[in-house]
Amino acid sequence: MKRSSATLAIVLLGVLLASTFVVGVGTGPVTIRPARVAEIVRELALGREPAAGASETERRIVRDVRLPRVILAGLVGLALAASGTVMQGIFRNPLAEPYLLGLSSGATMGAAAVIALGADRISPTFVPAAAFCGSLLAVTIVYRLGRSGSTVSDGATLVLAGVALSALFASITSFCIVVSSPDQTRGIVFGMMGGLAGAQWHQVGPLALVVLVCVPVLLAFARDLDALALGEAMAAHLGVNPAWVQRTLLVAAALLTASCVAAAGTIGFIGLIVPHALRLVVGPDHRGLLPTAALAGAILLIACDTAARTIAKPTEIPVGILTALLGAPFFLYLLRRRTAAGRRPWGADA
């Protein structure tokens, strides 16, 4: 029953993703007729010669502005939702999420430190590498704290640790900004506040690569995550090595988060909202939950970004404002529900 509902959800979400993509590419400050947009996308996808219909400008708007932006939004949403799902599974905590546990601010700090030290001039690849290190540092600290007891420690403690870590990393980032030259400050601010407004094709490639490598890894461990939900002792009994699974998945989650930060800056709460919503629909089985949450993450961020660049016309609002507007009340709701019930809101009470 669960299995077929998950398959159905994947198909429906696939269709919804395709429609969101079409609306996203069809919408923008410059009005281009939907038929034209479709014609241009078809041309580009099939590598055909430009037809007579669309003008060169329209073609460039669709190709150089809208497509990279919508695809980047989709990849970032997908990666953040997948990381969130995995982190909630590993920590068996409904509030675990890359943004709330400090992975995003760790990535920002890593990149800021490298730019402030001038190391990005040796090689620009040092910036995403340092973002990954920062993210990995955050997840390592959180993991150690989470394991300080015999079982994964109390949920509130974990989130509080994430809050403290985020504050620490944010202050180090601010320090880097203050001590660096105007050029470096510009590099840090532009790099870390990138958002989706200036999305370009060269940002799409590396993120797509990371997603293509990491998401299959996450999916391959879905069954082990389900075993972990029964408790580490039970998982070990089922032939799963808990520490190995947890570490591998957390490294993948850190890599996904850091790549998102490097491509589009910090975008919060996607990893919180999406897995919860999907758990209600397809249940807690990670083989169904992970792919559906990933698809829904892509849909949600493309939709938020399309709204972000149209509702405040002629200007744009950063997409992080919208995701926080949705996510922060949701977070409070989860917190309240959890406190009221005196237990975790999903079936994994340790």
- The residue among 67 and 296 lying less far from another protein, judged by its C-beta, is 67
List the one residue from 11, 15, 18, 30 that touches another protein (CB under 8 A).
Answer: 30
Q: Could you tell me the two tokens for 345?
A: 């809101």
Contact 248, 307 (CB under 8 A): no
List the one residue from 119, 189, 217, 326 that touches another protein (CB under 8 A).
Answer: 189
Does position 239 bind another protein by CB under 8 A?
no
Does position 265 bind another protein by CB under 8 A?
yes
| Angle, alpha carbons 108-247-79 (nearest 5°) | 50
Does position 198 bind another protein by CB under 8 A?
yes
Does position 244 bind another protein by CB under 8 A?
no
List the one residue from 9, 25, 39, 66 that touches another protein (CB under 8 A).
Answer: 66
Q: How buried is 125 (Cβ within 10 angstroms: 0-12 exposed, 13-18 middle, 19+ buried)?
A: exposed
Which residues make Cβ contacts (< 8 Å) with residue 72, sequence separation at least 6? 196, 199, 203, 204, 207, 263, 264
Instruction: State the number of binding residues for another protein (CB under 8 A).
Output: 30
Stretch that binds another protein, among 73-81, 105-113, 196-204, 289-297 (CB under 8 A): 196-204
Contact 282, 222 (CB under 8 A): no
Q: How far is the CB of 162 from another protein (least distance, A)?
A: 23
From its phi and psi, is residue 342 left (phi > 0), alpha (psi between -120 and 50) or beta? left
Q: How far apart are CA 81 and CA 97, in angstroms?
A: 9
- The residue among 101 and 270 lying less far from another protein, judged by its C-beta, is 270
HSE (side-chain half, CA atoms, 13 Å) at 260: 36
Does position 34 bind another protein by CB under 8 A?
no
Does position 98 bind another protein by CB under 8 A?
no
What is the binding site for another protein (CB under 8 A)? Answer: 28-30, 57, 60-61, 64-66, 68, 182-183, 186, 189-190, 192-195, 197-198, 200-202, 265, 309, 314-316, 318
